Amino acid sequence: MTLFWALPTVLLLSLLMTAGLRRYALARSVIDVPNARSSHTVPTPRGGGVAIVVTFLLAIVGVMLSGAGESRTLMALGGGGALIAIIGFMDDHGHIPARWRLLGHFIAATWMLVWMGGLPPLTFFGWQVNLGWLGGVLAAVYLVWLLNLYNFMDGIDGIASVEAITVCLGAASLYSLAGLGGHAVLPLLLAAAVAGFLFWNFPPAKIFMGDAGSGFLGIVLGGLSLHAAWLAPELLWCWLILLGVFIVDATYTLVRRLLRGDKVYEAHRSHGYQFASRQFGRHLPVTLAVAALNLCWLLPIAFCVARLGLDGTVGVLLAYIPLVLLAVRFRAGQIEERL
């Protein structure tokens, strides 16, 4: 099957599967009921992210059978992503203690890194550095942090879906411009799978993603970024730039809460995007702003790194400084009662 037919097929399958999951959630009362830590006010079905998981995993199988992708990369993404989705699904329908969830997260990250061959040499200010086993440890921490921050950032309608779609489309365009268009298949398929779900998740959302979907997206996007580093070192910096909105908001918020002595594993509403959605009184402006930042600010900087010779480290700093200022502007990490 060509990519021309695969993308609409994946999108349609995800859309229909999300509709089925919504009916199932309503029938079985799998409902996210608003509480003091919620950013929504209406009880809403949850677990729709399973459609993204199943659809993308089926797409991976299709790519593997067609011989259009690298088998080791497909095994890395499929196996690691599936394990995270299972853990998230179990936690959505019950409760898994944080220490066991974290252990599962590191097992999935290790699986990915073993199949991918670890972390490739990185380039800092023109110098190539091979971190060896330390690089593998740092890469595992990076993957675990990315999957968890994606869960933290999935707090208002459409934001996690829009982030994944715009990041994947941006990365695919950079691959094509760099002469690596054949490797754009996986980001495009993931974007199509998320787009089908977004039809139901766009503000006002008719179903939520749930931990299974958000964690899956986080680790798969992380895996794609590490795979990009093996293709060309500068592409890892491009992925870090494209993911900047989520990385900066989540990390800035976590650091502030750690310094204050908060229990960081407890639910809260102190991310910058959550304060922004309450300030504007709606989710839609914030979700659209994330899309605009990704496409109009972060993608051009990533292009400069990929094609115009801008150093990746400089590109990340240039991209992140305004995002940090936005996090400060919208009080990320501040106790809500202080408003």
pLDDT of res. 36: 62
Say if 218 falls within a structural domain: yes
Listed in sequence order, the residues at least 6 apart from 147 whose beta carbon sits closer than 8 Å to its beta carbon are 84, 105, 108, 215, 216, 218, 219, 222
Per-residue pLDDT tens digits for 108-144: 999 999 999 999 988 887 778 888 889 999 999 999 9
239 occurs within a structural domain: yes
* Domain presence at residue 38: no
What is the pTM (predicted TM-score) of this model? 0.95
Dist CA 49 CA 53 (whole Å): 7
Summarize pLDDT for 270-286 with one digit per residue, the tens. Answer: 999 999 999 999 999 99
User: Cα–Cα distance between 309 and 205 in angstroms, integer?
Assistant: 41
Is 88 contained in some domain? yes
On whether 211 is known to bind a ligand per the annotation, the reply is yes
Residue 243 pLDDT greater than 90, yes or no: yes
The answer to whether position 298 is within a domain reads yes
Residue 105 to residue 143: CA distance in whole angstroms: 8
pLDDT band at 43; cut points 50, 70, 90: confident
**Position 183 in a domain:** yes
Closest CA relative to residue 44, chosen from 186, 259, 202 = 202
Nearest to 39 by CA among 199, 153, 196: 153
List residues bridging with 123 in a β-sheet: 128
Residue 199 has pLDDT above 90, yes or no: yes
Q: In this structure, is residue 274 part of a structural domain?
A: yes
Q: Is 311 annotated as a binding residue?
A: no
CA–CA distance, 39 with 110 (Å, rounded to integer): 33
In a domain, 36, yes or no: no
User: Which domain, by its residues, includes 119?
Assistant: 3-31+43-338
Domain count of the fold of the chain: 1
Computed from CA positions of residues 322, 324, 328, 331, in that sequence, does the dihedral angle turn out positive or negative?
positive
* Range in 2-6, 73-77, 311-315 the model is least confident about: 2-6
Angle among Cα 320, 197, 150 to the nearest 5 degrees reads 30
